[in-house]
Structures are given as structure tokens and as C-alpha cells.
């Protein structure tokens, strides 16, 4: 696997274009199944590596056992040699008789050495067996520890997987759909078909039978709002205004997207803003429905400003917070004004709370929640 370590952070299209061509057409279910198969392969590779490590340990233990047996064999050979010497000494004693007293002393010494060697051999054998048992116990303890660590790592990885899946769901910026693609033009819809993008193509490039050559020129890009302003709720009208604020701020889109090659980037940029504004609309609808839980009496929208009227008998306070929204929500702090009506909660207190709210997902909801928690709730 080391030879692939340098490419693990690269895009799939740069590593394996054929696999990328297949994977980009897969459905969410197929992607989940593919991820499950990858996990199975990972599990198999992990088990194989454990088996290989186990086999290597078994080989090492076999070598240690063989070495101990060789030492035991040498010791046995030495004992046998001593036995032969004893036999020779006994034959000499029979031959020499009474004149063999010095040899008898030597024989006694040899017997003492033999007993000592036998005791040493038995002690060595017992020590080897004991060392082997201690080693096996340590190995079992280490394996149990490794098993616990692996279980903890698996739990941590599952938690990370869950967080990553939630993040992927939040960061799904594919907000566009193709409603029409013909030879002369293509139509894309955004935000529940309330915004339409018309892309007019130039003449096809020679040899491009399907009209999808990246170098094919784009004559014009036009965005159009299909929202019924009279029937749409205020939050939907606000979302439309912010999206078209972004669209108009970019100037001439045709200059930014002269050919088909740049069209995916345009769709991504617009989808990103549409996604953020759509979530903002959902936040406003949530506050309109459940604002009472946060001491929020009223939510009003004027152009691109959101007015939030808070009231709390517990804090003896009533004030109106006006937030100025823009197309870069929720990536920047929101300008605000405070109109104090009852009590002592004013711009200074609100500013202290807003300074602790990081920008990002559900920025508006978190602002309202912290104002309720820090300024309006019963301190008990």
C-alpha cells in the first residue's frame, strides 16, 4: 500500500479516470453499497495482516523452541559424556582396587558434578517452560489490549463516518436541474423551479456530433425569476432577492463563461449561494413557527432586512433586533441595529452575545437561540 500513499489525497479522476467515469454516474444507494464493499475489503485486509503477523510470531516461537531444544540436546550430550567417563572410572576402580583411592575421590567429584548438572538441567528446563508461559501470557495480554484499542478505534471511526455523512448532507450544493437541452440552448432550474437559467450556445464545433464539446462558445446566459411575488411568502421573496443580488453583483456572466468548459463552475457557484439562501429561508420559517420558544414575538421581513421582536417578562425586556442580510450569508457577520422598547437590553448587550456566535450553518437560528439563552431566560 506504500506505493499508493502519495496519491491517496488526489482526486479520483486523476488517479483512476475509468473508475471515476463509472462512479460519477452512480446513485446514492450504489455509492453506499460501494462504500460498504470498500469497508469489507478494508476489514479483509486488516484480518489478513493480523493472520500474517500471527504466522510470523508462530515462526519466531518455533525458532526459539528449536534453539532451546538444541541447547537441551547439547546439555544431554554432555551428560551422556559424563556418564561414559563415570563408566570408565568404575572400570578403572575395579582394576586398580585399593590403590585407586585418588581415582575414587575423582569419581565422587564427577558424581557430584553429574548431580549438579542434572539439577542445572532440570532447573534450566523449568525456567524455559516458565519463560515460555510468561511470554504467552504477555502475548495474550497484548492481544487483548490491541483488541480493546481496535474496538475503540472502530467506534471512533463509526462516529467520524456519521459526522462525515451529516456534513456531506449539509454540503450538498447540487441545487440545479436540467429542464431542457437542445442544439441551440439549455435550460436549468434552481430552488424548486423558481429560478431559471437560459444558456444559448453558439454554432457546434466541427466533429462534435452531440454539441457538448467544452470549447463550444456560449452566446448568452440569462437568469429569470419565476416566483409568484404576490402568492409567495416573505421568506421566499427574501431568498429570491438575495440570490439575484449575487447574480447581479457578478456582472456579465457570458464573459465569465465564454465556453461550455466554464459552465460547471457557474452552476456550482450559483448552487452554493442558492443552497445557503434556501437554508436561510428554512431558518426564517422555523423562527416564524417556533419563535415563541425563544421569546420571539414576531419576525418581519423588509427588503433584505429581518426584524426580530423579542419580549420576556422574566428579563423584563422588549426590543427589536434588525439584521441586514446579503448574498454571502452565512459566511460573514451580520450588521445589526437594536431598538429598545422596554428594559435595559440594548445594542451593547446584543453585540456581546453576537460576538460569541461563529458564522456558518444555521447562523440565524444560533443567534436567536443564544440571545434567548443569555439575555431572556430565567438565570436560575
The per-residue pLDDT of the chain, averaged, comes to: 86
Residue 277 has pLDDT above 80, yes or no: yes
Q: What is the three-class DSSP state of 49? A: helix
Asked if 81 and 73 count as a contact pair (C-beta separation under 8 A), the reply is no
Provide the 10 A C-beta neighbour count for residue 15: 13
Query: How many helical (H) and strand (E) elements, i.e. helices and strands, does the chain have?
Result: 9, 8
**Secondary structure class of 232 (helix, strand, coil):** coil
pLDDT for res 166: 61
Confidence band (pLDDT; 50, 70, 90) for 38? confident
335 or 171, greater pLDDT: 335
Q: Kindly report, residue by residue over 66-112, the tens digit of the pLDDT.
A: 888 888 888 888 988 988 888 888 888 777 766 666 766 777 888 88
pLDDT value at residue 305:
94
179 pLDDT tier (thresholds 50, 70, 90): very high
End-to-end CA separation in angstroms for the chain: 58
Q: Report how far residue 21's alpha carbon sits from residue 17's, in angstroms, rounded to the nearest whole number.
A: 6
**Amino acid 164: pLDDT:** 65
Q: Is residue 4 predicted with pLDDT exceeding 80?
A: no
pLDDT at 141 over 90: no
161-191 burial: b if 16+ Cβ within 10 Å, else e = eeeeeeeeeeeebebbeeeeeeeeebebbbb
Confidence at residue 6, expressed as pLDDT on a 0 to 100 scale: 67
Strand 296-302 and strand 218-225: pairing?
unpaired
Percentage of residues in the chain having pLDDT higher than 70: 90
Q: Cβ(167)–Cβ(199) under 8 Å?
A: no
Q: What is the mean pLDDT of residues 246-270?
A: 92
Above 60 in pLDDT, residue 308?
Answer: yes
Is the pLDDT reported for residue 208 higher than 90?
A: no
pLDDT at 7 over 80: no
Place of cell 467506534: 155
Please say whether the beta carbons of 207 and 231 come within 8 A: no
Q: Report the pLDDT averaged over residues 306-327.
A: 92
Q: Read off the pTM.
A: 0.55
What is the Cα–Cα distance from 276 to 361, expressed in whole angstroms? 8
Q: What is the pLDDT of residue 146?
A: 87
Angle, alpha carbons 321-327-331 (nearest 5°): 75
Average pLDDT (151-173) is 72
Q: Do the beta carbons of residue 179 and residue 188 sit within 8 Å?
A: yes
Instruction: Check pLDDT > 80 for residue 318.
Output: yes
Cβ burial of 238 (10 Å; 0-12, 13-18, 19+) is buried
In DSSP terms, 319 is beta-bridged to: 310, 340
The whole-number pLDDT of residue 169 equals 54
Amino acid at each position: 500500500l506504500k506505493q499508493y500513499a502519495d496519491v491517496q489525497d488526489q482526486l479520483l479522476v486523476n488517479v483512476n479516470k475509468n473508475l471515476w467515469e463509472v462512479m460519477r454516474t452512480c446513485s446514492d444507494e450504489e455509492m453506499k453499497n460501494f462504500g460498504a464493499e470498500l469497508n469489507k475489503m478494508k476489514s479483509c485486509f486488516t484480518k489478513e495482516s493480523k493472520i500474517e503477523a500471527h504466522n510470523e510470531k508462530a515462526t519466531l516461537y518455533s525458532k526459539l523452541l528449536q534453539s532451546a531444544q538444541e541447547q537441551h540436546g547439547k546439555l544431554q550430550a554432555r551428560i551422556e559424556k559424563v556418564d561414559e567417563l563415570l563408566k570408565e572410572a568404575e572400570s578403572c576402580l575395579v582394576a586398580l582396587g585399593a590403590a585407586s583411592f585418588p581415582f575414587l575421590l575423582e569419581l565422587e567429584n564427577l558424581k557430584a558434578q553429574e548431580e549438579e548438572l542434572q539439577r542445572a538441567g532440570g532447573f534450566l528446563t523449568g525456567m524455559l517452560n516458565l519463560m515460555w508461559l510468561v511470554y504467552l501470557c504477555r502475548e495474550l495480554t497484548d492481544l487483548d489490549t490491541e483488541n480493546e484499542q481496535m474496538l475503540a478505534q472502530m467506534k471512533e471511526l463509526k462516529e467520524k463516518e456519521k459526522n462525515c455523512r451529516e456534513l456531506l448532507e449539509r454540503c450538498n450544493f447540487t441545487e440545479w436541474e436540467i429542464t431542457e437541452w437542445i442544439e441551440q440552448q439549455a435550460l436549468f432550474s434552481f430552488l424548486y423551479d423558481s429560478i431559471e437559467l437560459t444558456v444559448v450556445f453558439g454554432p457546434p464545433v466541427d466533429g462534435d456530433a452531440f454539441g457538448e464539446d467544452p470549447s463550444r462558445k456560449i452566446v448568452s446566459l440569462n437568469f429569470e425569476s419565476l416566483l409568484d411575488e404576490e402568492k409567495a411568502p416573505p421568506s421566499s421573496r427574501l431568498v429570491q432577492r438575495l440570490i439575484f443580488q449575487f447574480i447581479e453583483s457578478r456582472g456579465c456572466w457570458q464573459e465569465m463563461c465564454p465556453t461550455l468548459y466554464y459552465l460547471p463552475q457557474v452552476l456550482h457557484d450559483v448552487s452554493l449561494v442558492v443552497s445557503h439562501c434556501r437554508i436561510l429561508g428554512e431558518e426564517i420559517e422555523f423562527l416564524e413557527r417556533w419563535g415563541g420558544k425563544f421569546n420571539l414575538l414576531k419576525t418581519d421581513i423588509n427588503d433584505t432586512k429581518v426584524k426580530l421582536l423579542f419580549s420576556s417578562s422574566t428579563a423584563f425586556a422588549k426590543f427589536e433586533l434588525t439584521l441586514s442580510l446579503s448574498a454571502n450569508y452565512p459566511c460573514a457577520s451580520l450588521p445589526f441595529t437594536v431598538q429598545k422598547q422596554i428594559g435595559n437590553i440594548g445594542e451593547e448587550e446584543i453585540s456581546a452575545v453576537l460576538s460569541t456566535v461563529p458564522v456558518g450553518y444555521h447562523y440565524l437560528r444560533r443567534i436567536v437561540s443564544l440571545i434567548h439563552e443569555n439575555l431572556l431566560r430565567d438565570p436560575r
